A and B are shown apart, each in its own frame.
Chain A
Amino acid sequence: MTQSMMEKHPLAQANWVLVLLTIALAGLGLINLYSASAVRLGEGISVDSHFQKQCLWVLLGAGCMLICMFFDYRRLISSAEPLLLLSIALLLLVLFTGGTVRRWLPLGPVNFQPSEAVKISVLLVGAKILSRGKDPLNWKELGGVMLVGLVPAALILKQPDLGTAVIVLLILGGMILYRGVKIKIIKVCVLVLILSPVALVKLVIPNLLDYQRDRILGFVNPEKVNPDSIYQNKQAKIAIGSGQTWGKGYLEGTQSKLRFLPAKHTDFAIAVFGEEWGFAGSVALVALFCFFLLSIYATAREARDSFGSIFTAGVFFYFFWQIFVNIGMVLGMMPVVGIPLPFISYGGSASLVNFCLVGLVLNVSMRRFVFRAV
């Protein structure tokens, strides 16, 4: 068996299911984005430039994906730390050059979000540190890994971008759990989780910015806060709910076409999808995402070294948290935080990163049998 595997070209070993699912998701994303970029004028519709731009981003992303496939991913181990330092430097640059909201770095015609680069480098450095040794992590090791996430997360929080900061930590947390920690640490963490709501109310909430607080409080108690901050959530729920079983039909969504739905091409793009394709379409899309995640999981399971496996698990969590938080937020189950939905939401930097990560997972899957033969 191994013999025959070895003889095949690495491409034959690639996770082709993941490729197909990625193409399906990116295609659905473009189809939906066409609708989400459109507004009704009288009886016709007008599509803005977001759709065309996203087409370009997807093509660029596909290119990046290919590049990410055709080198040995283990080469990244050595460049992980420099990448992290570079992205932290970019974060600092954004912080010191921008205005009140400092998330983008203007790069010629486009804006680059350093926080996206941070996600990749945290993944790499995290995977590198976690792949040393086999035993469950002890406090000291855990602290070292957490530091890798906490520093950039703090900087991202300063931008301010609460959602991305939390996602970075969640990805790292997922990787740590995947790697395994001592039972004692898990016990302590559970205790902290129980106590954290108290800390949240006493320490975190008073220090948040007004709009962040409003969104979170708006989620907990919709009647009590500024109506504008719960408007998004309300309109998103109406949009999705009014799709009912079969949806209003492609390009027929009224909530999105008449601009009731805010951020309809970015964070709330799935509300457009839900409105036009209904429950049937929504379940199909969620199922597609689940298969996508499971096919990443397959690669994590089959990876031939611990770096590849933990890195792939990190990619799994990268997608998992974004999908879960974004859809949960649009469905009104979580506070409104600016997390895009992979492949469905418009966004250049995010698209590139998504494709690069899929490319790296394919890279891992391609090389799972290399060196295995004796």
Chain B
Amino acid sequence: MLINIQEEYQPPRHSLPLLQVLVLAMFCVLVLRFWHLQILQGEQNMQRAYANRWREQMVHANRGLLLDSRGVILAENRPSYAVSLVREDCRDIPATLAKISQWTGEPLSKLERLYKNSLEERVPSFSPLALARDVSFEQVARIESQLVNWPGLIVESQQRRFYTYGEMFAHVLGYVALANSKELETYAGLRRGDSVGKQGLELVLENRLRGTKGVTALEVDALGRPLLREEKTSPRSGEDIRLSLDTDLQRAAMTALGKRAGSVVVMEPESGRLLALATSPAYDNNLFTGRFSPSAWNSLRNDERHPLQNRAIQSVYPPGSVWKLMMAAMFLHEGVNPDETVNCTGEFRLGNRVFRCWRAGGHGKVNMRRSLVESCDVYYYQTADRLGIDKLTGFAQTAGFGHPTGIALPSEKAGVVPGREWKLNMRGESWQRGETVNASIGQGYTLVTPVQIAVYVASLLNGGRLMKPLLLRDERPEALGGTPSTEKERAFILEAMRLAVEGRQGTARSIRRADALLGGKTGTAQVVSLGDTRQKPEETRYEYRDHAWMATWGAKGDKKYVVVALVEHGGGGSAAPVVRAVYDHLFAPETAAARGRVAALGYMPRQDVLNDAATDEAIRNSRQWEKFVRQAPDRYERE
């Protein structure tokens, strides 16, 4: 038998409940916590788990094309190649970056910055990061052959905006480039690495052109590796948009301007649609879509000839004698009898100041019609001095000057219509009589843009409406105002313009043509006052040469056009050949613009004052025109 050698053992009295209480407490605490996480916050945690594994990936949408009025492609998307890095597959990032730099010539510091940014922005490790964009085909061929040695490197096919005609439409189309941080905030759906409109129509139409990206849901693991792919929405391409511009006409205008600085505006007066909007010198907007070096940018920006400037809407010039179209309308509206004459002796004296007419000997007795046709300055000096500056200011403003025309392009200039208030605000001085005299021939403070002149000339033809200049073919015409001129007053100006082209003494005779009705007004805007001496342009320094203006309209059949040209520092008369070349294109038998049906013209200037017989039978037969011819002179003669 075994013997119990010890007393019967009893565990310490306090210790048994201690263990039980511990177990119970643990059970309660843990169950309570499980309840908290799984029941109370269960739904929330479920969503977090879902968000953990489902990622949305954007699928690129094609940007809409830009087409001219007849469907010629002006801006399209072309494939381009990018060398991209897939982080998770890459073994040696610094060496790979160095290799890309060596292959493509991109500075290593830039690649490192891009890489660091992508880490900060938590770009998933499986999604390719485009490090070198727009790599040439030759480089791609060379890189692809070595790609096997560089895991994690891929050549991606991307899309690059391409502008078919480069410089020709650069200022209208603008360009796209990589979106910056501010733009990423502005536009929903834009991601880093996307292109966005920066200038011109690309900027204005950004929301229509961009399209909507598709969304693909990607189930990923914690390393970001995709396991399942589900397309949620397919990408929708941006809208293809047709412009009102005509490529051939634009080319004709650009060719006519040649190397000279200046601009040409061609507008349909009834609708305000622009058929050409040329500015020179221009830049190649394709430069901006690819790899664009800061030095190229600086050389464009610092170019003395300002190629980035859209001279049709962003440059302001003194209108010179073109201003007389507005002044004469103002005179008529203020009740000046057009047959009242002013004796032009070649100068106008005000106190001890002398204001000269461009014709040194003077024009003699000049009525309003002759003042327009022959561009007599003294007529305007005297009449404006009599009426005062306030009338001028008021009328010019209602005629569309001094504020933007509303064209859908960025940074349009308003120009300046001087007046008492303006001078007080700008200079803190009161208005001088002499300044009225200067302003009457579009000198002094007066500044306008070429497109403002076009809108005004169009208003003479369309019943006085100031049309918003339209760049898109399908845009609804919109009148943003109207001149106070009556129909007859406008007809008077048109008639005088016609005479300036067709009359023997007309200053715009050089654009005369047999196959169409034309009216015009020349202008020479002085850049600096040269005193009494009139120098030939060739003898003057370029910056001191006068700007040459030409504001015209032309009609053939049922087609009517307004053509305005400005040649910077071209010297008097240099705008006429430009306008002529544009009309050559508009009215040439082989161009679409010329193939208009001959039909009723609406009102047109009087036949009987023309020196050369009008060639177009339809014009003579126009009943509206007959009516107008009978009524117009009566009114003025009565008054």
Contacts and interface: CB of A to CB of B under 8 A. Distances in A.
Interface string B1-24: 111111011011011101110111
Interface string A362-374: 0000000011111
Interface string B207-229: 00000000000011111000110
A323 B35 CA distance: 18
B27 A244 contact: no
Interface stretch (B44-52, B268-276, B584-592, B611-619): B44-52
B37 interface: yes
A343 to B, nearest CB: 16
Main secondary structure of the interface of B (DSSP, over half): helix
Nearest to A331: B33
A241 B42 contact: yes
Nearest to B6: A305
Given A179-B12, A244-B42, A309-B9, A297 B30 contact: no
Contacts of B187: none
A41 B227 contact: yes
A258 B33 contact: no
Given A258-B52, A290-B27, A294-B20, A304 B9 contact: yes
A360 B9 CA distance: 19
Contacts of B6: 304-305, 371
B41 interface: yes
Given A40-B221, A258-B220, A313-B19, A242 B2 contact: no
Contact of A240 (B26, B37, B222): B37
Given A238-B45, A282-B38, A331-B34, A260 B11 contact: no
B16 A258 contact: no
Contacts of B16: 297, 300-301
A285 to B, nearest CB: 9
Contact of A242 (B8, B19, B35, B46): B46
B39 interface: yes
Contacts of A371: 2-6
Interface string A12-43: 00000000000000000000000000011111
A118 B37 CA distance: 35
B31 interface: yes
A282 B9 CA distance: 38
Nearest to B221: A258
B595 interface: no
A324 interface: yes
A297 B23 contact: yes
Among B4, B12, B43, the one with the most A-chain Cβ atoms within 10 Å of its Cβ is B12
Q: How large is the interface on B (under 10, 10 to 19, 20 to 34, 35 or more residues)?
A: 35 or more
B37 A300 contact: no
Given A258-B227, A260-B221, A297-B16, A241 B38 contact: yes
A242 to B, nearest CB: 4
B45 A242 contact: yes
B43 A297 contact: no
A327 B50 CA distance: 24
Given A179-B12, A180-B15, A320 B22 contact: yes
B23 A306 contact: no
Given A259-B223, A304-B8, A371-B5, A242 B48 contact: yes
Interface in A303-318: 303-306, 309, 313, 316
Q: How large is the interface on A (under 10, 10 to 19, 20 to 34, 35 or more residues)?
A: 35 or more
Contact of A244 (B3, B18, B24, B46): B46
A303 B16 CA distance: 12
A245 interface: yes
A313 B22 CA distance: 12
A306 B24 CA distance: 25
A82 to B, nearest CB: 25
A271 B31 CA distance: 14
B53 interface: yes
A39 B50 CA distance: 17
A300 B12 CA distance: 11
Given A178-B15, A301-B11, A283 B26 contact: no
A310 to B, nearest CB: 8
A237 interface: yes
Contacts of A297: 16, 19-20, 23
Given A177-B18, A238-B49, A241-B42, A286 B27 contact: yes
Interface string B412-441: 000000000000000000000000000000
A106 interface: no
A255 B11 contact: no
A184 B276 CA distance: 102
Nearest to B4: A371
A306 B10 CA distance: 8
A355 interface: no
A63 interface: no
A77 interface: no
Given A40-B227, A372-B8, A294 B23 contact: yes
Contacts of B23: 290, 293-294, 297, 320
B134 to A, nearest CB: 35
B227 A260 contact: no
A335 interface: no
B5 A241 contact: no
Nearest to B14: A180
A258 B52 CA distance: 9
Given A245-B39, A260-B221, A373 B45 contact: no
B222 A258 contact: yes
A245 B34 contact: no
A320 B26 contact: yes
Interface string B585-616: 00000000000000000000000000000000
A271 to B, nearest CB: 10
A43 B3 CA distance: 68
Nearest to B22: A320
A333 interface: yes
B2 to A, nearest CB: 5
A181 to B, nearest CB: 10
Nearest to B41: A241
Interface in A106-145: none
A314 B45 CA distance: 38
B15 A179 contact: yes
Given A255-B49, A260-B53, A309-B9, A282 B34 contact: yes
A180 B41 CA distance: 42
A243 interface: yes
Interface string A267-294: 0000000110011001100110010011
A294 B24 CA distance: 10
4 A-B pairs closest in CB distance:
A241-B45, A244-B42, A242-B49, A258-B221
Given A241-B42, A241-B45, 10 more contacts: A180-B15, A241-B49, A242-B48, A244-B46, A260-B53, A260-B222, A282-B34, A320-B26, A332-B37, A374-B4
Interface of A: 39-43, 177-180, 235, 237-245, 254-255, 257-260, 274-275, 278-279, 282-283, 286-287, 290, 293-294, 297, 300-301, 303-306, 309, 313, 316, 320, 323-324, 327-328, 331-333, 370-374
9 contacts: A240-B45, A241-B41, A241-B45, A274-B34, A304-B9, A305-B9, A324-B26, A331-B37, A373-B1
